[in-house]
Structure 1
Amino acid sequence: MCTVCGCEHPSGAAKDAHRSHDHHHGDDVDRTIRLELDILAKNNAYATENRSLFADRGILALNLVSSPGSGKTSLLVKTIEMLGNGLRACVIEGDQQTTNDADRIRATGAPAVQINTGKGCHLDAHMVGHGIADLQPPEGSLVFIENVGNLVCPAAFDLGEAHKVAILSVTEGEDKPIKYPDMFAAADLVLLNKTDLLPHLDFDVDETIANARKVNPSIKVLQVSARTGEGMESWLAWLNGARAMALAGHPIGAAAE
């Protein structure tokens, strides 16, 4: 766990601080900052290793982030089904408990590894490295990393991915990008999911997109429905473009030209 996102206080120090004021707040702040920097530095070192492995194998790795209930897994299942045999996809599933999502992915025929974080609120690069070692994704494949449902903590942790893809459902409200700006600032793409529900909701798509671009002017937004397949072709086209970038200069990419 980590002090960066607050998912656990080391040795109960932060918790004890609220019980007694017989200490120096400045010292606590300094220790916390040093610990945060140390955690992120270690994570970034593992992320660099992951990124190097992906580059060597011509793998496109995507970090899928969202709040719980956005439809990440349903969207991923639909994506894998539509990809068919044209592109090998592997999945690392992150959840605090259960193998439910990994079981759903495996039912499509795609290999999946479940990582349960317990009290942790995000995946880190070290966990992902172990997941990659278990999956052994082939050269030129696509690795989806479905992060723990959380719009705060995963924003700070580089996993070695090529892109963060934020999934936002139309049931969550137009203000999510400005309430959780770090996540949308870190993402390259937003998939606005569950658009089939729009006729039944008071949801302003244009306002949502405008809010996302307030925190990230270059972010791309695609409207999709995992249930009906609406907009999925645009998502697959984006995937193919991102994969072409991942293969640029790689022997697999050269052979395909």
Structure 2
Amino acid sequence: MCRVVDLRQAVLAKNDEAAQVLRTELTARGTTVVNLLSSPGSGKTALLERELLLARERGVAVAALTADLATENDAVRLARSGVPVKQVLTDGLCHLEAAMLGRHLDGWLPEDTRLLFVENVGNLVCPAGYDLGESLRVVLASVTEGEDKPLKYPTAFGLAQLVVVTKTDIARAVEFDEAAFRANVEQVNPGVEVVLTSARAGEGLGVLLDRALAAGAGTGTHTPVMARREHAYGLGHDHDHDHDEDHEQEYDHEHPHPHVHTVAQTR
């Protein structure tokens, strides 16, 4: 059992080192990384597509990398915005890692990119512990997922620098309790901003883009209590829950190389 915990801590420590190198390199060239985390079906692809279109309209040089276990569906949708888009298929790996991201950006990311949105694998568990060298970490949750989501996934929400609620156009139909959700977010991450959005209705459109630009400028970025308690994003290293023997392989990281596809832009 101890071997599993030690191996996970070693893997995450190595990832943190790679993340800091990547953050330094990208910051030096003027690129801000935004890491988007959510459950599958939260609506983050739909919202991101709208934000990418808005970025183009504003003349902001932006790109997007999206990761999934299978299919190129999200990349095809995002490419409709006309910005550079890359799809990464992880071959079963439930999250992106900093070194992996760095390899996929090498030779692809345009030099003048001001914002890079990374749509992480749909999962609120594994991705939460992996710093990708981002300057802004965003966790999204739809109104259909329940007000207790922040309490069920305290690391994901507790390390967020921005929380985005999606699909608010159907909030009344699903009886979403906004006050309860906000209270639960505040419990795990005091002071973090919660933004209400609807990709369909346009509510909150542009807030994600504005917050990303502010993070790139080094202004107004929330520092979670969890991140202050340890090194940045370090709390994710302390998850020493019991694991069965099969779970050791999850942290072996001898995974096949993810497939990468660059999706043609539509103008």
TM-score, reference length from structure 2 = 0.78
Secondary structure class of the residue paired with 2:88: strand
2:55 counterpart residue number: 83
Q: Hey, what does 1:122 align to over in structure 2?
A: 95
1:239 corresponds to which letter in structure 2? A
Cα drift, residue 132 of structure 1: 1.4
Report which stretch shifted further, 65-74 or 233-242: 233-242
Q: Deviations over 1:83-107 (max 9, x none)?
A: 2241011111110011111111112
Q: Contact between 1:113 and 1:134, CA under 8 Å: does it hold in 2?
A: no
Secondary structure of the residue that 1:245 maps to in structure 2?
A: coil
Unaligned runs of 5+ in 2: 220-267
Amino acid at match of 2:25: L
Say whether residues 1:199 and 2:172 are aligned partners. yes
| Alpha-carbon distance, 1:234 to partner | 3.2
Aligned to 2:19: 47
* Structure 1 SS opposite 2:106: helix
The aligned counterpart of 1:5 is none
Deviations 1:199-254 (A, max 9, x none): 312110111011011000021101011111111143333233223228xxxxxxxx
- Partner residue in 2 for 1:146: 119
**Paired residue for 1:182, among 155, 165, 170?**
155
Deviation (angstroms), 1:116: 0.9
- Which residue of structure 1 lines up, in the alignment, with residue 143 of structure 2? 170
d(CA) in 2 for partners of 1:129 and 1:114?
Answer: 14
Q: How far does residue 140 in structure 1 lie from its aligned partner after superposition?
A: 5.4
Please tell me whether the aligned partners of residues 140 and 165 of structure 2 are also in contact (alpha carbons under 8 angstroms): yes
What is the letter of the counterpart of residue 205 of structure 1? E
Q: Which residue of 2 aligns with 1:219?
A: 192
- Greater Cα radius of gyration, structure 1 or 2: 1
Runs of 4+ in 1 over 4 A off after TM superposition: none
The alignment partner of 2:141 has SS state of strand
The higher-RCO structure (CA 8 Å, 6+ apart) is 2
Kindly indicate whether the alpha-carbon contact (under 8 Å) linking 2:141 and 2:164 is maintained by their aligned counterparts in 1: yes
Please give the alpha-carbon distance, in whole angstroms, between the structure 1 residues aligned to 2:207 and 2:97.
29
For residues 140-168 of structure 1, the C-alpha deviation after alignment (integer angstroms, 9 at most, x for no partner) is 51000100000111110011001210111
Q: Counterpart of 1:159 in structure 2: which amino acid? A: L
- TM-score, normalized by length of structure 1? 0.81
Q: Gaps spanning 5+ residues in structure 1: where?
A: 1-28, 247-257
Change (3 A) 1:136 1:233: closer
